Amino acid sequence: MDGKLMTVYRAFRFKVAPVHQKQELFQYFAYLVQLASQQLLERLWTEDWLDKVARSMKKTYKVINEAQVSLQVANQAIYFPSRIRRGISERVGRILRAQHTQKECFYDCLQAVEQIGLESNLNTLVKKVARTIQLVNGQYYRYTLIRQTLGLLRRLNFKYGLDVWTLRYTDVVQPAIKQFVFPYGPDDGQALRYTCTGYIINYQMKLPVVSVPITRRDWQWLAGTIIIPVRLQKKIQEAVDIQPQRPLLKYQRLKGGIVVPVLQFPWKFPENPLIKRNTKIKAQRVLCVDLGVRNLATLVVCEAGYQISPPTFIKLLKSRFRHIERLYNHVAGIQRKLSYYPVHCVGQGRRREERIRVYNKLDRLRQELAHAVSNEIVTTAWRTGCTMILLEDLRSFNPPKGKKNVSRRLNNWLRGRISDLLTYKCKQVGLQLLKVNPWQTSTICPRCGQRGKKIKDPTSHIEKKTGRFFSCTHCGFQADRDYIATLNVYRAAQINRRQQETLYTTKPVPYKGTGTPPDRPGGDPVALKPTLGLAVTGGCLFKMSTMKGTVPSMASSTTRDPLLK
């Protein structure tokens, strides 16, 4: 092992000030900070400042001087302690820094659109613009960002008839700070003091004791204690240092809709030394993952060029899906009603509240689902003794146009989220994650490398573009489409681009399985779970089904596989 210890941060949230009288102190604080941040952001909302903050390598609170923070409430200048002002400039600076990419994208899009025009279909336009930008500036942006920017430009042009080519980014986009977040990062003990001893965090926080603090004496220290729950104590034991890093103060919305202030403390953890960097894929046991629409995920274990386990499918339970579908439709229904009537029409406020409430519920369910699926993928990888997970790279993924049904929208969202979650969960567990180009993974036969066709079910022989089944006319291999894609993910990872290999020419994956996934030697997956920091995935969220019984033709398809003999 090399001497440099790799570390990862993991943050945990703790409720603060459970005493009710003290809640209002937080409210004063949050209100004042939010107001001052918003005003500072509006003052600094110029292209000069966006560039200045983005170009500087310093911490943002050093670029934006804390003296710039000022606030007037009821004709009185509010007094902020200097470290609080620092936190505010840090927060505003981070927003400006994040906005810089969007600004760059805006101008690059404008430049590209000048040649292409805004008229064509949005999906086509996004692709064209992305290609043009890449050719001209060599710059790469996320598709969603380009889509957003082009949507904005089109609205401005078509709806308001503006001459978009002369617009400036800062005139078009208005900044708004929606959520209250206060970073204690730049503080040095003058706004928050804390010590962590024996799983108890004692803290003191400087808060205003009146709603309009105008002198130093209007700010006082509020003391409190956080007892770290037992389930987190075990995790924190593994941290490099028991003392956490400086926290963020946030508001967290609980399930019933109550909002409570929380302190989010990050701890430094050693990165799992199991991660082997830059080792050949062939030498490892890998878990290949395909994230699809019908099957949320399809998993296959491969080793040394062979497929060594039958596929595992992760599906969403029908009842669970119906629940989410209803919520989607509920939000859409409210949205429709909101768009019919003018803004200040009677009942609009109530509807808007309802939309937020339903949307939060929907979002919670989606998040839960994404966590459950990614946890299952990671535990499967661990249980089967894999050291690496192969996943398709979603950057090049463009959601299919046309049908916008709920399952498609949900699963497109889930794919992105699962991909993000896997990135950090793999790090925690010590698995390597490799993303591969998904080009044509569901059209080529993984057993022989020839182009196959999609059919409706194993008995039909007519090609159908939307068919769930794949059939190879060359070698007769038949299987579920997602299963094919998963095997091809393994092949795609092994493509040697220097020898100009493609998915057609790279080696096929023969099956060499025992019928059941191999178990990790000596490892007990149940004992592992709590240290992984993974929620135990209940059976209620989704059902896991291995090949047996669910896709009957696949068992027979493996016997028809010529490479097996």
Indicate whether 315 belongs to the interface with Zn ion (CB under 5 A): no
Q: Which is nearer to Zn ion, 78 or 444 (CB)?
A: 444
Indicate whether 232 belongs to the interface with Zn ion (CB under 5 A): no
Q: Which is nearer to Zn ion, 239 or 475 (CB)?
A: 475
First CA to last CA distance, the chain: 43
Pick the piece of the chain touching Zn ion (CB under 5 A) from 56-64, 190-198, 208-216, 443-451. 443-451
CB of 510 to Zn ion, least distance (A): 11
Bridge partners of 286, per DSSP, are 302, 388
Are 279 and 269 in contact, with CB atoms under 8 Å apart?
A: no
Bridge partners of 249, per DSSP, are 182, 263
Instruction: Kindly write out the interface string for residues 401-440 of this chain, putting x where it contacts Zn ion by CB under 5 A and - elsewhere.
Output: ----------------------------------------
Q: Which is nearer to Zn ion, 374 or 488 (CB)?
A: 488
Count Cα neighbours of 238 within 13 Å in the Cβ-side half-sphere: 18
User: Torsion angle, CA of 352/357/358/362, rounded to 10 degrees?
Assistant: 130
CB of 504 to Zn ion, least distance (A): 11
Counting every residue written for the chain, the total comes to: 565
Distance CA 11, CA 248 (A): 10
Q: Which is nearer to Zn ion, 295 or 488 (CB)?
A: 488
Q: Which is nearer to Zn ion, 443 or 494 (CB)?
A: 443
Residues in region 457-516 near Zn ion by CB under 5 A: 472, 474-475, 477
What is the 3-class SS of 97-109, one letter each residue? Answer: HHHHHHHHHHHHH
- Residues with Cβ within 8 Å of 185's Cβ and at least 6 positions away in sequence, in order, are 59, 87, 90, 246, 248
Indicate whether 314 belongs to the interface with Zn ion (CB under 5 A): no
Q: Which is nearer to Zn ion, 37 or 478 (CB)?
A: 478
Task: Enter the DSSP assignment of 134.
Answer: H
Q: Which is nearer to Zn ion, 286 or 445 (CB)?
A: 445
CB of 472 to Zn ion, least distance (A): 3
Distance CA 163, CA 185 (A): 43
Give how many residues touch Zn ion by CB under 5 A. 7
Indicate whether 445 belongs to the interface with Zn ion (CB under 5 A): yes
Indicate whether 370 belongs to the interface with Zn ion (CB under 5 A): no
Indicate whether 447 belongs to the interface with Zn ion (CB under 5 A): yes
CB of 298 to Zn ion, least distance (A): 18
Bridge partners of 279, per DSSP, are none
CB of 508 to Zn ion, least distance (A): 8
Q: Which is nearer to Zn ion, 472 or 479 (CB)?
A: 472
CB of 297 to Zn ion, least distance (A): 24
Indicate whether 448 belongs to the interface with Zn ion (CB under 5 A): yes
CB of 445 to Zn ion, least distance (A): 3
CB of 177 to Zn ion, least distance (A): 56
CB of 476 to Zn ion, least distance (A): 7
Distance CA 482, CA 479 (A): 8
Q: Which is nearer to Zn ion, 152 or 475 (CB)?
A: 475
- Residues with Cβ within 8 Å of 191's Cβ and at least 6 positions away in sequence, in order, are 81, 83, 84, 87, 184, 205, 206
List the one residue out of 443, 485, 491, 433 whose CA is nearest residue 311.
Answer: 485
Q: Which is nearer to Zn ion, 373 or 484 (CB)?
A: 484
Are 205 and 192 in contact, with CB atoms under 8 Å apart?
A: yes
Neighbours of 267 (CB within 10 A): 22
Q: Angle at CA 11, nearest 5°, toward 10 and 16?
A: 165
CB of 513 to Zn ion, least distance (A): 18
Pick the piece of the chain touching Zn ion (CB under 5 A) from 44-52, 228-236, 441-449, 525-533. 441-449
Distance CA 549, CA 106 (A): 52
Binding-site ranges for Zn ion (CB under 5 A): 445, 447-448, 472, 474-475, 477
